Amino acid sequence: MCTGFVGPAPDVPVWLGELSRPSLGAAVAAYDEAGRAVVDEVGELVLTEPMPSMPVSFWNDPDGSRLREAYFDHYPGIWRHGDWITVTHRGSAVIHGRSDSTLNRGGVRMGTAEFYRVVEGHPGVMDSLVIDTSGGAAERNAGNERTTTDRGDESAAREDELLCFLVLAPGADAGDVETGLRRALRAELSPRHVPDRFIVVDDIPRTLNGKKCEVPVKKILSGASPEKAVSREALRNPDSLEPFIRHARYN
C-alpha cells in the first residue's frame, strides 16, 4: 500500500509517542478478538471502509484468494493489516508492532518493536530478526549456521523457542554480543524477552519496501514450503532466505 494509515495533522497537538490522526480517507479502528472496536486499548489495526489506495488484487492471484487470505479472513469484510494499534480517546494512535508475528512467552504476548529497539541499539548488531516458533512444527537447526549458543552442535530439534537472528557489525564478536544482549534485554524489557538462542546470519530478508519478513520466516522454520511462505519477487534480497531454509531443512 502506497500510503499511511495514521500520521501528523495540522489542526491538533503533537502528543509524545503518538501519531495525531488517521490519514485522510483511512477509516482506522482498533478491533479486539471478537471484532469490536476498542478505545485506549491495544487491538488489531483494521480499516472498516475502503480507502483510495487500497489494492484490489495481488500479482499472480487471478481469483483473489491470496488477497482475501492475507487481509480479510480474520474479520470478514474488514481489512486487518497485521499491526497492533491503540486508538486513544483523543483520536490519536500508537503503533505497537506486528500482530501476526507476536511473541508468546509463558502465555504473555509481546510485540517485536521494543525487542528490535534494544537489540539493534547494540553497537555490534547491524540488523536482526526475532522469531517465536510457538505453535509451529519443530524448529530445525541446520548446523551450518554459526550459533553463539550451540557452537554448531547438531542437536535435536526443539519446539517453542524464541530465536534471534543477528547480522553482526564488522569485527564484532558473537559471544560478546550475545552476552551484552542477554543482559540488556533482561534489564530493559524482561527476562521473558531473552531468546533461547542467538544465530548469526549474513542478511535479514526484507520486502521491497523494507519490512522484515517475520511471518514468512516463521512459516519456513515451521516446515512450510518456501514457495508458499513468500514470493521471492516481493523481496528486496531474495538470497537472504537461503540460511533460513537450510536451518529448517537439515536437522
> Which residue is associated with the grid cell 540488556?
184
d(CA 72, CA 61): 15
DSSP H or E segment with residue 244:
helix 242-249
DSSP H or E segment with residue 30:
strand 28-31
Higher pLDDT, 116 or 222: 116
Beta-bridge mates of residue 37: 31
Sign of the CA dihedral with 35 first, then 130, 161, and 114 last: negative
CA distances from 231 to 53, 111, 172 (A): 22, 25, 32
d(CA 5, CA 119): 27
Taking 60 as the threshold, does the pLDDT of residue 226 lie above it?
Answer: yes
Position 244 confidence tier, pLDDT thresholds 50, 70, 90: very high
Count of Cβ atoms closer than 10 Å to residue 42 Cβ: 16
Question: What does the pLDDT read at residue 149?
Answer: 40
Structural domains present in the chain: 6-98 (2.30.38.10), 111-249 (3.30.300.30)
* Residue-by-residue DSSP string for 114-138: HHHHHHTTSTTEEEEEEEE-TTSSP
d(CA 168, CA 8): 35
Question: What does the pLDDT read at residue 135?
Answer: 57
d(CA 238, CA 205): 7
Question: What does the pLDDT read at residue 39?
Answer: 97
> Which residue is associated with the grid cell 509451529?
136
pTM score of the predicted model: 0.64
Model confidence pLDDT, tens digit, residues 160-197: 788 999 999 999 999 999 999 999 999 998 888 899 99
| pLDDT over 90 percentage in the chain | 47
Packing angle between helix 214-221 and helix 242-249, nearest 10 degrees? 30
Cα-trace Rg, the chain: 19
Taking 50 as the threshold, does the pLDDT of residue 76 lie above it?
Answer: yes
Kindly list the strands in the beta sheet with 42-47, ordered across the sheet, starting from the edge strand earlier in the chain: 28-31, 42-47, 79-87, 93-98
